[in-house]
């Protein structure tokens, strides 16, 4: 393997390890409410098992040795020898975090020396794990070639009628390079007794061009018979190759559960039912051939399909127990599902996807230029061709943007651990309720919303939700509830962080703002405006500073990060009942459908999904609204703002003006413009730092003519229009 191929494989290991660790954390948190969930326990074991095996392939001994001990404990949990409780879950979560830090340390610098502090944390965790390893004489079996292991399980319960030992053996790829001959060990085993049957498994062999003649790719399933031979003697056969193989030994008359476990953990995904049973040693090759022959006879005799199934035939003949048939069928189903899922998914580097989006954006601009040329030339054929091109470009645009859409549930699920740990730290009983996890959002937005959500969640837990004693006094359940919700609304996505705590104290917030000089004593503010004061830098009403909050740092960062995403944040609160913070974000940061408007010599764009309607102002209405900032729209007051005044456009107003009615977060306002120029596919280009503080502008775009049009920040303009209307009405 070349250095480039090795580096790519190593990066894949890092990526898969992160995914497995997230799944491991989710399953561990699930065990707190369902400690007897076998599926969750098996999922945790498989995650640790896979990370250990994959880490061994790259020689990551630190990860392998630590995860191996964790795997031992998890295997005892699976076997019912260790009881799942809160203390064990907390320890395993810490172990999960430590494995994650080991992975990230190597990902940052594969050649770096082990971190002493990290090593000491690992040793402390290993000491704590020892108390759960009592009675473990041999490590749990791994199908990974990195290290060897043997396991023999207690002999109780229903057993398989077999007088032979079954040995499942997988040699590591480096066994030949290390001077060992796999066949020599098998021949030595045969001298101790008799190898009744041996099945060579070539499933791990790569294509011929990728094959390394010095690597071993074979696995073996062996049925062995030996008088007076015990497990220790069989283990000693493979003593010199312990570090380069994995082995599982099942004694004669082993429990059905042991064979079932072996079937599930076979590394090969053989689809044939009979092959699975032969590989695990519960069925001989001769018995399989006889059953297949009978199956052909039954089918030729037009027997019912159910009676001619191989599994039913084997059970009727009494050569295989029904439990093993079910296990093999389950293995088949899982293998098919995994294969089907793998065929549907392909990993793409994020920078390649971003490059595709950029190219699609340039194609949108070029398509707009082509459409403009066709319009000017008055060529019908060219106009028809550009219309088809525009439609295809739009479909490509939508498909490309859909590639970047991910469900927000993955981000939400990370807060299960946060809520668990923080609630224990501050001594409160708090549960997390997740809604709208399937809501999709642009990947770039999801990546940047994590930190603001973290601030809001921790703030709600520390300041919002009361202690159990206070909640009971107020007639509430002792356990508080934190809520994360996401949904689409008016072309935006709304993310809510809510709690059923004590709510915000309006009077205290106003008093603190007055003390800091943020407001004046006679200033009249709405509830929303008062609550919004908590986002000012250094603002805090906390009576004491805690490890989580109270220093006035964080909420201003939340607002700044949300506004950087072209979003807004709003607070709804009822004192004594709880608080909900609503974050509104655009669905994508790249390309949108826009509505193009003209004011003087300039062009402006607003998102099309925010446009409600367009109204033409006649001469009488223009005169009436000359000195006002609102009109009567079908019996409702509609505040508006003149873009000519807002952006100081030169020249005289057009003889015919129009109002574009826009809506955002349930609020409506009008934008007075000279010209309505119709729909326009808008590629959003960020403004430079020089224009970062320009109010009312959210970005720019390039028109088909090559001119630059400004994209309006609709939420800011609506708030300004409402403020102007209030000022005029109050006067």
Q: Does 336 reside within a domain?
A: no
**Do 424 and 514 have their domain in common?**
yes
Q: Distance between CA atoms of 698 and 607, rounded to whole angstroms?
A: 11
**Do 354 and 442 have their domain in common?**
no
Q: Is 66 left (phi over 0), alpha (psi -120 to 50) or beta?
A: alpha
Among the candidates 586, 619, 640, a domain finishes at 586
**Do 399 and 416 have their domain in common?**
no
**Do 123 and 161 have their domain in common?**
no
DSSP state, residue 653? P
Instruction: Write down the pLDDT at residue 304.
Output: 55
Q: Distance between CA atoms of 80 and 318, rounded to whole angstroms?
A: 30
Q: Does 317 reside within a domain?
A: no
Domain with residue 439: its CATH number is 3.30.565.10
**Which domain does 122 fall in, by range?**
3-130
DSSP state, residue 683? E
Helix, strand, coil in percent for the chain, rounding step 5? 50, 20, 30
Q: Distance between CA atoms of 660 and 399, rounded to whole angstroms?
A: 30
Q: Does 304 reside within a domain?
A: no
**Do 161 and 28 have their domain in common?**
no
Instruction: Give residue for tokens 């408007």.
Output: 597
Q: Distance between CA atoms of 308 and 311, rounded to whole angstroms?
A: 9
**Do 227 and 100 have their domain in common?**
no
Instruction: Write down the pLDDT at residue 150.
Output: 37
Domain with residue 221: its CATH number is 3.30.70
Nearest to 659 by CA among 638, 678, 680: 638
Q: Distance between CA atoms of 698 and 695, rounded to whole angstroms?
A: 8
Among the candidates 360, 384, 404, a domain finishes at 404
Q: Are 602 and 461 in contact (CB under 8 A)?
A: no
Each residue of 171-206: b (16+ CB within 10 Å) or e?
A: bbbbbbeeebebeebbeebeebbebebeeebeebee
Q: Distance between CA atoms of 350 and 34, rounded to whole angstroms?
A: 37
Q: Are 512 and 541 in contact (CB under 8 A)?
A: yes
Q: Distance between CA atoms of 231 and 236, rounded to whole angstroms?
A: 9
Q: Are 537 and 552 in contact (CB under 8 A)?
A: yes
**Do 568 and 602 have their domain in common?**
no
**Do 441 and 580 have their domain in common?**
yes
In sign, the C-alpha dihedral spanning 273, 279, 280, 282 is positive
Q: Are 479 and 429 in contact (CB under 8 A)?
A: yes
CA 51 from chain center: how many Å? 18
Q: H or E segment at 170?
A: strand 165-171
**Do 377 and 419 have their domain in common?**
no
**Sites in the chain below the pLDDT cut of 70:** 1-3, 5, 134-162, 203, 253-287, 301-308, 315, 317-321, 323-324, 327-328, 330-345, 490-491, 540-554, 589, 688-689, 692-693, 725-731
Instruction: Write down the pLDDT at residue 673.
Output: 92
Strand-pair category, 219-225 with 194-201: antiparallel
Nearest to 88 by CA among 132, 138, 36: 132
**How many domains, the chain?**
5
CA atoms within a 13 Å half-sphere pointing along the CA-CB vector of 214: 5
Among the candidates 586, 602, 625, a domain finishes at 586
DSSP state, residue 243? G
**Do 424 and 564 have their domain in common?**
yes
Q: Distance between CA atoms of 157 and 159, rounded to whole angstroms?
A: 6
Q: Does 579 reside within a domain?
A: yes
pTM of the complete model: 0.61
**Do 84 and 200 have their domain in common?**
no
Q: Distance between CA atoms of 78 and 38, rounded to whole angstroms?
A: 7
Instruction: Write down the pLDDT at residue 140.
Output: 36
Q: List C-alpha distances in Å: 14 to 9, 60, 278, 348.
A: 9, 12, 35, 15
Structure token digits, residue 158? 């229903």
Q: Does 514 reside within a domain?
A: yes
**Do 151 and 210 have their domain in common?**
yes
Q: Does 379 reside within a domain?
A: yes
Q: Are 581 and 496 in contact (CB under 8 A)?
A: yes
With H, G, I as helix, E, B as strand and everything else as coil, classify residue 65. helix
């Amino acid at each position: 393997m070349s250095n480039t191929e090795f580096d790519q494989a190593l990066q894949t290991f890092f990526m898969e390890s992160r995914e497995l660790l997230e799944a491991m954390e989710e399953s561990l948190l699930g065990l707190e409410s369902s400690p007897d969930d076998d599926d969750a326990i098996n999922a945790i074991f498989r995650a640790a098992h896979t990370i250990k095996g994959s880490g061994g392939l790259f020689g990551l001994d630190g990860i392998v040795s630590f995860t191996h001990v964790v795997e031992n404990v998890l295997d005892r949990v699976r076997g019912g020898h260790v009881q799942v409780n809160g203390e064990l879950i907390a320890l395993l979560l810490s172990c999960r975090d430590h494995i994650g830090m080991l992975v990230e340390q190597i990902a940052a610098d594969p050649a770096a020396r082990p971190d002493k502090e990290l090593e000491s944390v690992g040793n402390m965790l290993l000491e704590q794990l020892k108390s759960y390893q009592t009675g473990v004489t041999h490590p749990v079996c791994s199908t990974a070639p990195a290290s060897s292991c043997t396991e023999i399980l207690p002999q109780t319960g229903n057993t398989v009628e077999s007088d032979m030992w079954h040995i499942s053996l997988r040699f590591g790829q480096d066994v030949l390079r290390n001077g060992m001959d796999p066949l020599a060990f098998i021949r030595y085993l045969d001298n101790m007794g008799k190898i009744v049957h041996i099945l060579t498994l070539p499933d791990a062999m790569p294509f011929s061009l990728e094959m390394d003649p010095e690597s071993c790719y074979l696995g073996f399933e062996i049925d062995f018979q030996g008088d007076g031979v015990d497990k220790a003697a069989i283990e000693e056969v493979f003593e010199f190759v312990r570090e380069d193989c994995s082995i599982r030994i099942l004694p004669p008359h082993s429990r059905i559960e042991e064979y079932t476990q072996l079937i599930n953990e076979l590394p090969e995904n053989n689809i044939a039912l009979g092959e699975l049973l032969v590989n695990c040693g519960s069925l001989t090759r001769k018995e399989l051939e006889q059953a297949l022959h009978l199956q052909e006879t039954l089918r030729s005799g037009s027997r019912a399909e159910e009676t001619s199934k191989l599994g039913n035939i084997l059970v009727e003949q009494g050569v295989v127990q029904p439990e093993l048939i079910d296990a093999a069928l389950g293995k088949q189903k899982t293998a098919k599902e995994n294969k089907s899922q793998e065929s549907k998914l392909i990993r793409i580097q994020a920078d390649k996807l971003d490059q595709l989006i950029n190219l699609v954006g340039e194609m949108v601009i070029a398509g707009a230029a082509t459409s403009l040329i066709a319009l000017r030339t008055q060529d019908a054929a060219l106009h028809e061709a550009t219309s088809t091109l525009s439609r295809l470009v739009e479909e490509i645009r939508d498909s490309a943007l859909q590639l970047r859409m991910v469900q927000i549930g993955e981000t939400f699920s990370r807060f299960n651990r946060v809520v668990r740990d923080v609630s224990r730290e501050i001594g409160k009983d708090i549960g997390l309720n997740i809604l709208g996890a399937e809501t999709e959002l642009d990947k770039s937005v999801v990546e940047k919303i994590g930190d603001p959500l973290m601030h809001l969640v921790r703030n709600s837990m520390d300041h919002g939700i009361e202690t159990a004693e206070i909640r009971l006094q107020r007639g509430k359940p002792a356990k508080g509830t934190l809520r994360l919700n996401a949904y689409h609304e008016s072309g935006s996505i709304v993310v809510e962080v809510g709690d059923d705590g004590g709510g915000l104290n309006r009077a205290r917030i106003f008093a603190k703002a007055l003390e800091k000089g943020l407001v004046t004593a006679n200033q009249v503010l709405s509830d929303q405006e008062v609550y919004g004061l908590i986002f000012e830098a250094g603002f805090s009403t906390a009576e004491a500073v805690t490890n989580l909050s109270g220093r006035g740092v964080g909420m201003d960062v939340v607002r700044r990060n949300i506004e950087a995403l072209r979003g807004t944040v709003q607070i709804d609160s009822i004192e004594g009942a709880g608080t909900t913070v609503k974050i509104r974000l655009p669905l994508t940061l790249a390309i949108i459908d826009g509505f193009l408007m003209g004011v003087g010599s300039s062009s402006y764009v607003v998102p099309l999904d925010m446009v409600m309607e367009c109204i033409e102002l006649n001469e009488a209405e223009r005169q009436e609204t000359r000195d006002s900032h609102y009109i009567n729209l079908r019996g409702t007051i509609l505040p508006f703002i003149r873009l000519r005044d807002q952006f100081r456009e030169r020249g005289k107003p057009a003889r015919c003006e129009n109002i574009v009615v826009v809506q955002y977060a349930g609020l409506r306002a009008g934008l007075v413009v000279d010209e309505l120029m119709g729909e326009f596919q808008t590629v959003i280009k960020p403004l430079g730092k020089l224009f970062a503080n320009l109010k009312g502008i959210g970005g720019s775009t390039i028109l088909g003519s090559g001119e630059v049009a400004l994209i309006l920040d609709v939420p800011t303009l609506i708030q300004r229009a409402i403020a102007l209307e209030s000022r005029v009405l109050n006067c």
